[in-house]
Amino acid sequence: MSNSPGRRASFRPQQDETLQKGKKRSVDFYIVSRLLGYIKPYRTLVAWAIAITIAGSFLGPLRPYLTKIAIDDYIAHGNLKGLTVISIFLAGAILLDGIKQFITTWMTQIIGQKAVLDIRMDIFRHLQKLPARFYDRNPIGRLITRTTGDVESLNEMLSSGIITILGDLLQLFFIVVLMAWIDWQLTLIVLSILPLMIWATIAFKNRVRIAFQDVLTHQARLNTFFQEHLTGMSIVQLFNREEREGRKYASINADHRDANIRTVLYFSIYYPLIETLSSAAAGLVIWYSGVRLLKADLSIGVVISFVQYIWLFFRPLQHLSDRFNVIQTAIASSDRIIRLLDEKEGIEEPAGKREIECFKESIAFKNVWFAYESENWILKDISFTIRHGEKIAIVGATGSGKTTLINILSRLYPFAKGSVSIDSIELSDIAEHSVRKLIGVVMQDVFLFSGTIRENLAFGKPDVTDEEMREAARIVGADRFIDQLPGGYQYRVLENGTGLSSGQKQLIAFVRALLYNPEILVLDEATSSVDTETESLIDAATARLMSERTSIIIAHRLSTVQKADRIIVLHKGVIRESGNHQELLAKRGLYYKLYLLQHPEQTLHIGENGAPA
């Protein structure tokens, strides 16, 4: 937009404000339309709840009118029979109103709970489809807030918001109609307070929305900090950071407290203001009624019914303000949830995506470039081929891009330039699940889910039999420690395997991979955190496992890759060398230097051809 001076520049702030308001309204409409989509499957239940709300909305306003009839038509004339009849009608109205409230409350709560269940399931399914990049930039605590606090705000609106607002509005309509029917002058006095209440409600609504957005933002920060520090509590304690991290938490907690206090301030102003206005309306009605009573221009029944109507009239207005508060909180939460659901999912699947049943020929990387951010390249012009049945090792210093290659092959991250293919089929043309069905990865940091040992072992193959599981555990050598655990395979694993050693978790990961039975086995530093005895068990198991399938070994420790058919040496994202162990030693290049760093005692024992002298 031009910044030229003159009338256009002077008009711009107003124009921008109009655009902002228009954008705000369109965003709110979009949010509401998305939320209604979750209620649509339960439209029959919603229709019944609305119908009962509409049918019963006159019952509350009817009670003061029946009170007026009882006083003016029967008590004033000593008509006991008529008083008994009207009392029965009054009791019936009270009873029916109670039944109506029970049914609508039950129905709306059912609708809310069903819709919230669907929302939570959509969020969880969506989170499982989001790419790894999304989790790199979004703290887990923030995502937990989306599925707990934000969804709970929606539950309150869906279960007690919209239909209750309809009931309150209808109740206000019947109250005004009946008041006007009884006495239009007193009705005008009551309604004279309404503009002030509307102004107060609008001002309150706008400020509370901003305040609740702040509360939700600080709540997400609080959850993120808390989750991270519980997970990393051992690091906090080892580095004596308890007091300093406590001060950080106190600061975040104070921000959350202050945001909540701001909302409390608005409520503490609003509710007394509404109460004062309603009391002022009651005072005006009583004063004016007294004047007319002295002139014999008004009956006692009318005065008593109007006093009742005043409290009935302002009660739905207060309810509406509460509902506005609920809705504002829910809209703020909905905005966050919908932005999460609108996050672009993983690599887009082409229309004719391919399915691969098995791996037959080769995996080819051709001139592949990759960067996590802009052009800060992690991999640079990478080209190599892995033939079926070949055992490949990838070595290099930390940060050289070894694990990134596997992330690309597993389609966790898309590469920027180049080509990756499996059996001459472009990786982007193959369905994600089909690629991942071929690949089994055993990582350095093993993650175990809360549940039994059996559930963790069968994670990739839920239909595995007990016999197959025990045989796989025996091959890997994990059966020894599993059988000694209380309950054996039914032993309950705590969060992320707390209570098991690193070696035991690693063995479980090997059994899990063996049961998954992948055609391409990836060992990503899989033996770096185990002791010598456990490593010997794993070496024996993996030798048997890798003899029948294509294998990719990523390692720092060169002792684990010496038997590989081919070793690829990465350095700063570039392939520097390639060959088997003896060939690379004979070149006396980078691999040779890495080998000597790890085996300094071998310096004088390596011949010119790479073999021990």
pLDDT at 9: 37
pLDDT at 609: 54
Q: Look up tokens 């049918």; give the residue.
A: 55
For 85-99, 374-388, 468-482, 597-611, which range has the lowest pLDDT when averaged over its residues?
Answer: 597-611
Residue 76 in tokens: 């004033």
pTM: 0.71
pLDDT at 2: 37
CA distance 159 to 42: 12
Q: How confident is the model at residue 605 (pLDDT cuts 50, 70, 90)?
A: low
Q: How confident is the model at residue 262 (pLDDT cuts 50, 70, 90)?
A: confident
Instruction: Name residue 65's amino acid.
Output: Y
More confident residue, 534 or 375: 375
* DSSP label at residue 10: H
Burial class (CB in 10 A: 0-12, 13-18, 19+), 505: buried
* DSSP label at residue 138: S
Is residue 48 scored above 50 in pLDDT? yes
As a whole number, mean pLDDT of residues 195-212 equals: 76
362-579: which CATH architecture? 3-Layer(aba) Sandwich (3.40)
Count other Cβ atoms within 10 Å, centred on residue 80.
9
List strand residue ranges (DSSP E) for 375-528, in order: 377-387, 391-396, 417-422, 425-426, 439-442, 451-452, 492-493, 520-524
List own/partner pairs for 248-251 with CB under 8 A and 24 or more apart. Answer: 249/225
Rg (CA), the chain: 36
Residue 233 in tokens: 């509590």
Is residue 123 scored above 80 in pLDDT? yes
CA distances to 600, 603, 606 from 613, in Å: 15, 10, 5
pLDDT at 527: 63
Cβ within 8 Å of residue 141, ≥6 positions away: 220, 221, 222, 223, 224, 225, 226, 227, 228
Return the top range by mean pLDDT from 25-34, 129-138, 263-272, 406-415.
406-415
Instruction: Name residue 497's amino acid.
Output: G
pLDDT tens digits along 4-38: 333 333 333 344 444 344 445 555 677 777 887 88
pLDDT at 403: 86
Domain 18-341 has CATH 1.20.1560.10: yes
Closest alpha carbon to 489 in 469, 504, 472: 469
Q: Which residues make up the CATH 3.40.50.300 domain(s) of the chain?
A: 362-579
Is residue 442 scored above 50 in pLDDT? yes
Residue 40 in tokens: 């649509």
**DSSP class per residue in 389-404:** T-EEEEEESTTSSHHH
Cβ within 8 Å of residue 200, ≥6 positions away: 270, 273, 274, 277
CA distance 153 to 545: 51
Cβ within 8 Å of residue 65, ≥6 positions away: 178, 181, 182, 305
* DSSP label at residue 491: P
pLDDT at 566: 92
| Neighbouring-strand partners of residue 524 | 554
pLDDT tens digits along 582-600: 888 888 888 888 888 877 6
pLDDT at 567: 92
**DSSP class per residue in 305-353:** HHHHHHHHHHHHHHHHHHHHHHHHHHHHHHHHHHHHHTS--SSPPPTT-
For 41-50, 101-110, 288-297, which range has the lowest pLDDT when averaged over its residues?
Answer: 288-297
Q: Which residues make up the CATH 1.20.1560.10 domain(s) of the chain?
A: 18-341
Do 159 and 113 meet the contact criterion of CB atoms below 8 Å apart?
yes
pLDDT tens digits along 507-536: 888 888 888 888 888 888 766 556 666 667
Residue 22 in tokens: 């228009």
Instruction: Name residue 366's amino acid.
Output: K
CA distances to 164, 393, 398, 556, 605 from 599, in Å: 76, 18, 18, 13, 11
As a whole number, mean pLDDT of residues 257-279 equals: 82
CA distance 53 to 187: 25
List strand residue ranges (DSSP E) for 149-222, in order: none
